[in-house]
Amino acid sequence: MYSGSLGFFIAVAIALGLAGVLAMMGALVVVNMRAGASARKVAQQARHDTRQKMLASSVQDLRPLIGAIPDAADIRFDIQLPSEAVHVFAVKAELCELLAKIAAHAASVMSAGATLQVSARVERGHAVVHWRDLDAEDVRPPLARFFDALDTASQASARVCERIASRHGGRIYSAPHADGALGLTLRLPLHGSTAGA
């Protein structure tokens, strides 16, 4: 009788263990189904956002966007643009936002009356825009430290500029001008050009 009861308890323990394993497998299946549905939803949103960006994008000549003097009363601008068009495929409003944020940052960190030089050129399949403080005395002026800013507003502006540049296949970073003065550089792929060309 004792061996019969022991066999029964062993059978119950095995059945309970098997039920636990089946319940765990069922829970994993449900979790995986939910994760798959969530991933599909994220992928669908990404495709939608890409389609919207493509619809909002068009070929832009950077020269008129750069040439429009921003509202920064405390600093002067020295804008140097090439005679030929600098075409990029982009969302105009986003490029204008990026340019405005750089001008606002420059106005907030440069001395009153200082000159912000903004130059554009075409270089190896890229549109290159460079900003520099012509009156800076420091080898690493505050304008060039945009991405190292300590205040929250400047940090947020820097991140927005990085995201906009990235969404357009480019990047923005601190870099020296050809004469060695450190400033900010924006690189965007030219429309109709291979970036590595």
- Percentage of residues in the chain with pLDDT exceeding 70? 87
Per-residue pLDDT, 196: 42
Mean pLDDT, rounded, for 54-66 = 82
Q: How many CA atoms lie within 13 A of 41 on its CB side?
A: 6
For 88-114, the pLDDT digits (tens) are 989 999 999 999 999 999 998 999 899
> What is the CB-side half-sphere exposure of residue 125 using CA atoms within 13 A?
9
Closest CA relative to residue 89, chosen from 182, 170, 8: 170
- Distance, in Å, from the CA atom of 186 to the CA atom of 181, rounded to the nearest integer, reads 15
DSSP assignment of the chain: -HHHHHHHHHHHHHHHHHHHHHHHHHHHHHHHHHHHHHHHHHHHHHHHHHHHHHHH-EEEEHHHHHHS--S-TTSEEEEE--SS--EEEE-HHHHHHHHHHHHHHHHHHSPTT-EEEEEEEEETTEEEEEEEETT--SSS-GGGGGGG--SHHHHHHHHHHHHHHHHTT-EEEEEE-TTS-EEEEEEEEPTTS-TT-
Q: pTM of the entire structure?
A: 0.69
What does the pLDDT read at residue 197?
42
Confidence of residue 74 (pLDDT cuts 50, 70, 90): confident
pLDDT over 80 at 28, yes or no: yes
| pLDDT over 60 at 194, yes or no | no
Q: How confident is the model at residue 131 (pLDDT cuts 50, 70, 90)?
A: very high
Average pLDDT, the chain: 85
Of 132 and 35, more confident:
132
| CATH code at 58-189 | 3.30.565.10
CA-CA-CA-CA torsion sign (46, 190, 197, 121): negative
User: What integer is the mean pLDDT of 65-69?
Assistant: 81
pLDDT at 180 over 50: yes
Q: Give the pLDDT confidence score for residue 191 in this predicted structure.
A: 87
